[in-house]
Structure 1
Amino acid sequence: MIQSIPKRVTFDEFIDWYPENSGHHYELHNGVIVEMPKPTGKHSEIAGFLNVEIGLLCRSGQLPYFIPKESVVKPYGDESGYEPDIIILDKQAVKLEPRWAKESIITMGSSIPLIVEVVSTNWHDDYALKLDAYEAMGISEYWIADYLGLGGKRYIGSPKLPTFSVCQLVDGEYQISRFRGDEPIVSGVFPEFDLTVDRVFNAIN
């Protein structure tokens, strides 16, 4: 269950407060510090698998991207801060980030070609809160890996099945494509990504 720390704080107060070497993971949601649920083994397995596969595409294609171990994304004009499961950063664009070098904070959507969230019990955040924030920031692509089919019917349809959503920014708005089962996942940022949903959710190379 997600735990909230009721006192409202600013983004900078959240960054100053964040405990070092904590065994817990926190985000700031509209001024409220939220302790995030500890990832399950399957959640971590899928996130790790995608991290490796995307990293291999970056290296083999000699793309100007890298995957940081950790970072905080700060949406525009919002007292929120998110730590995505996977974030891909543009090596050149981050040089313009005012808080990257010292704090690992990303404030510009142009620095992020792709961001990925693996859905947990707090699925509302991934499908609504974060989608709106990432869209407003102008992040080119956002993947939602819902391996348990937890999202609401409005997001993944009925019957609810494991679904991989690819949100691509078109004219400032996300156009969402959903993939299931043995369907190959289609990405604009990584067109060479040729894995099916089943292979990703089962972490099969």
Structure 2
Amino acid sequence: MIQALPEPITFDEFIAWYPENSGHRYELHYGVIVEMPKPTGKHSRVAGFSIAELNFEIRRNKLPYFIPKECVLKPRCYESGYEPDVIVLDDRAIENDPRWERESIITTGTSVRLAIEVVSTNWSDDYALKLEEYEGMEIPEYWIVDYLGLGGRRYIGSPKQPTLTVYQLVDGEYQGKQFRGNERIESLAFPELDLTAVQVFAAGQVIS
């Protein structure tokens, strides 16, 4: 049985509390433990497809990147901890991240080449909370994969439709560009990536 903790708690208390071999994922949002929605089959297919495509690109171009099975991002200023659906780390920079080797914790944005969140029912976390936090960590690139078009109209427009938004850090602030349909995704981390938005979205479709 998982023991509840009084809130708010610190990031280190959260890491010490985090249950091993749990069937659930948890994040820490400003000192409050949040149980993340269990990924649906479609959500998992989109994340898995993205990992496969990016791993292929890493191998094909011999890039000094890798995609870990899991890790936790720790922002600089708040008692928070996040687990992106997909994260691409830089082999050259990770050695300087003080908590990586022992705890799989990322504390510096320079260790990250790309973070990806696949949107689910808690879409506001991806479009607002995590956008701000990843920007604050100076993670150079952040994708929001909204394959069901769940996000608010102010984020993906009206009528709502499947949208992949790529945020890239420019002078310390994220600048976003949206991709739909057969538009080729433009990535700083993977400049030769030959992948369209609809290919990513299709991974979440049920095959009859």
Per the normalisation by structure 2, the TM-score is 0.94
Structure 2 match to 1:66: 66
The question of whether the paired residues in 1 share the 8 Å contact of 2:42 and 2:203 is answered with no
Gaps of 5+ in 2: none
Output aligned runs, 1:60-139, within 5 Å.
60-139=60-139
User: Cα offset for 1:203?
Assistant: 2.4
Kindly indicate whether residue 178 of structure 2 is the aligned counterpart of residue 178 of structure 1. yes
CA distance in 2, matches of 1:6, 1:183: 47
The question of whether the paired residues in 2 share the 8 Å contact of 1:6 and 1:33 is answered with no
Output aligned runs, 1:152-167, within 5 Å.
152-167=152-167
Secondary structure of 1:185 counterpart = coil
CA distance in 2, matches of 1:111, 1:81: 16
Structure 2 match to 1:30: 30
The question of whether the paired residues in 1 share the 8 Å contact of 2:113 and 2:189 is answered with yes
The question of whether the paired residues in 2 share the 8 Å contact of 1:5 and 1:34 is answered with no
Change over 3 Å in CA distance of 1:38–1:174 after alignment to 2: same
Query: Which deviates the most, 181-190 or 28-37?
Result: 181-190
Gaps of 5+ in 1: none
Per the normalisation by structure 1, the TM-score is 0.95
Secondary structure of 1:169 counterpart = strand
> Equivalent pairs: percent with the same residue?
66
Across the two proteins, how many residue pairs are aligned to each other? 201
Match for 1:116: what amino acid?
I
Secondary structure of 2:7 counterpart = strand
Kindly indicate whether residue 18 of structure 2 is the aligned counterpart of residue 21 of structure 1. no
Match for 1:11: what amino acid?
F
CA distance in 1, matches of 2:121, 2:63: 34
Secondary structure of 1:81 counterpart = coil
User: CA offsets per residue over residues 142-178 of structure 1, 9 Å max, x none?
Assistant: 0000001111111101111000000011111111000
Match for 1:79: what amino acid?
E
CA RMSD in angstroms comes to 1.4
CA distance in 2, matches of 1:89, 1:189: 10
Runs of 4+ in 1 over 4 A off after TM superposition: none
